[in-house]
Amino acid sequence: MTYVTFCRMLLIVFLVNFANYNCVISKSDVLIENSDALEFNIADSSKVKRFDEIIIFGASKKLEKITESPTAISSLDKTDIRMATRTNQVANAFEGLAGIDILRNGTSDFIVNTRGFNNGLNRRLLVLQDGRDLAMPLLGAQEWNSLSLPLDEFSKIEFIKGPASALYGANCFNGVMSLTSYAPKEVIGTKVSLLGGDYETFRADIRHAGLISNKLSYKLTLGKSGSLNLSKSRTDSSQLEYEGVKLERRPIYEDERNTNSTYGTIRFDYDINESSKTLIEFGYSDSGNEVFVQPLGRVLVTNTQRPYARIAYNSEHLNFHASYMRRDVRDSMWLLFAFRGPGFPLGSPLLTDDEDILLDLQYNNFLNESKTLSYVIGISQQFQNINTHKTTLINEVNADFTGIYAQLNYDIAKDLKLVATGRFDRTNLHSSQFSPRGALVYSLNSYHKLRISASSSFQRPNYSELFRFTPDRALNPTSTANLSNINSIVTDSLKKWTNNPNLESVQLGLNSLRGYAVGKSDLEVEKNLGFEFGYQGIINDNFYLTADIYYNQLTNFITNFGPGYNNSIQKWSANLGDNLSEYNAKVSEIIYGRLTGDDKIRLSYFQDKPALIQSVGNFGNVEQYGIDLALNWYLMDNLILSANYSYYNFIFDKKPGEPEISSN
């Protein structure tokens, strides 16, 4: 251990103990396919909130006890979040919660998912920060390093598990993560945080909040972080970490291994009266040097700038939210595997200049004096402008999305509640969608509650899946060697078959094959219909048990980018002309016999030329089912023992003629 490392460790220990005392012991396994997971946590906190006291908002878009939620939901309060700050990563805050997958995808990037397939570019989980969608517009996935607030600036995090389009619309296919930041009046004063560690890790944050008047308050946050990226170049076979990793054409230079982020926000809150307030907030982040693992290969993003602004009005019955976000990546996003050469118009780097505008208006109230019948109605409008300057998408895309939703909550009896929800979504990109949800919550008594529900969600294809046109990797080295003199080989064979020694040389166009990743503009919307049974129980005042059993049916499943998935792209075959057409099959057999790996599937006709193509498609049907169990044992007022268990399985029903796809 070096002297510098030792000093960093002392600093971390001092800061953690100075701020608060907490102890967490955990063991976790992340499972994707047929799997079991068992996890234990021991946590000490000075303020423990029992589960029957937890108030949530996201499950019904109104305040209610977590024990009355119509869907499975996990909630972290400020105490839980403070303990999770030891990792300094928002995604890691959910370690230890049943049914949630957390995979690391880079130095500061994570893939978070629940109840379903996870991959290197997961976008099936809607992530909201104070109602604002955090996903990058182009791909719909998260960039965790670009957040404008550190983890300990959030007062509450809610995680809805299961289909949720009935309230939230598209892209909450498997669930919703909602992060709520502190209001200025909750954190009056100044706070400074420092973090350091191995791999040149550091983080410095400052927050100051105060009062301008009794009604007007403000909050200012600033921060900077950095860490050494462990990703290295793969331009030489000696640099490959394990068998199966493919060579890349662009190296990662030493100064591109310093993953970094600079961020800040300023917020003003005005209290109109005791039950209503309005706010305005501006934020900005400048992050870079992160390597993302995607299905098509690794991508290096050396700089991303993301400014945003939002305004909101919240009262007892009416809530309004509007936000604007921009994502600029200029000359700094590199496809490490892609070929770039003279006359090749695409190549790296890629550019993006995206905008997202979201407006949401929601009203809730009671329909009768006894308050047994209540409703929530709302309308949302979103505009997205995607401009990649023809480096990722050929044309600029202007999309708009409109959603109208309503929910009825009816206390049928003292111990039985009905929740019925429906949402209609339209867009200029695909067909309109209707998403219903129905749930019954039954109380055996004040300590034991049962829940049964059916809900749906839909996942619209992202713009890359629809309109992508980027370079892809070239032929495998063995295929390249085998095709080096293919024109001569085929010509000689034809001379023998035709007994014509004077036959002109055949040019097949296979000596300089280009690789492309292309979208499929007529992709269908992916749909998810889920059924769920849940139990929540308090036993002897000290044990809190939850059990969720679920079954999901997925249709129009959208694949990752891969070979042979797009049935609208013609597979390559030899075309020797009318005079030699009888030999087309033999020549095709020669060519495919010399290709190795997935080159045999990638070889296609594209834009009237042979090319190596990877694309996407809608495939088959998928059935998913599983169980999530969670037990909290309140040993004493400030000590909890928790144990979680999750099981997940799936059945993939592949239609005849469809190629094999990986379960991940």
Angstrom distances, CA of residue 55 to CA of 50, 306, 323, 527, 638: 11, 32, 26, 30, 20
Burial label for 493, CB within 10 Å (0-12, 13-18, 19+), is middle
Q: Is 50 exceeded by the pLDDT of residue 135?
A: yes
For the chain, give the mean pLDDT.
86
Q: Is 70 exceeded by the pLDDT of residue 28?
A: no
Percent of the chain with pLDDT over 90: 56
Q: Residue 96 in contact with residue 642, Cβ under 8 Å?
A: yes
- Going by C-alpha positions, the residue among 229, 32, 116, 136 that lies closest to residue 551 is 116
State the pLDDT confidence band at 181, using cuts at 50, 70 and 90. very high
Q: Which of 195-204, 371-380, 515-524, 582-591 has the lowest mean pLDDT?
A: 195-204
Interatomic CA distance for residues 601 and 584, integer angstroms: 18
pLDDT of residue 512: 79
Q: Which DSSP letter does residue 131 get?
A: T
Q: Residue 295 in contact with residue 465, Cβ under 8 Å?
A: no
What is the SS3 assignment for 148?
coil
Interatomic CA distance for residues 429 and 384, integer angstroms: 11
Interatomic CA distance for residues 252 and 256, integer angstroms: 6
Mean pLDDT of 160-179: 92
Q: Residue 37 in contact with residue 28, Cβ under 8 Å?
A: yes
With helix as H, strand as E and coil as C, how does 162-215 read?
CCCHHHHCCCCCCEEEEEEECCHHHHCEEEEEEEEECCCEEEEEEEEEEECCCC
Q: Residue 227 in contact with residue 107, Cβ under 8 Å?
A: yes
Q: Per-residue pLDDT tens for 254-312? A: 999 999 999 999 999 999 999 999 999 999 999 999 998 887 788 999 999 999 999 99
Angstrom distances, CA of residue 191 to CA of 19, 216, 234, 255, 552: 10, 20, 43, 32, 45
Tokens of 365: 């109230």
pLDDT of residue 29: 35
The strand ranges marked E within 480-578 are 515-518, 526-539, 543-558
pLDDT of residue 117: 78
Q: Per-residue pLDDT tens for 99-128? A: 888 888 777 778 888 887 777 677 788 999
Q: Which residues of 354-382 are buried (b: 16+ CB within 10 A; e: fewer)?
A: bbbebebebebeeeeeeeeebbbebebeb
Q: Is 50 exceeded by the pLDDT of residue 18?
A: no
Residue 489 CB neighbour total at 10 angstroms: 17
Which residue type sits at 511? Answer: N
Q: Give the CA angle between residues 426, 430, 433 to the nearest 5°.
A: 45
What is the SS3 assignment for 467?
helix
> How many residues are there in the chain?
664
Interatomic CA distance for residues 210 and 220, integer angstroms: 9
Percent of the chain with pLDDT over 70: 88
State the pLDDT confidence band at 659, using cuts at 50, 70 and 90. low
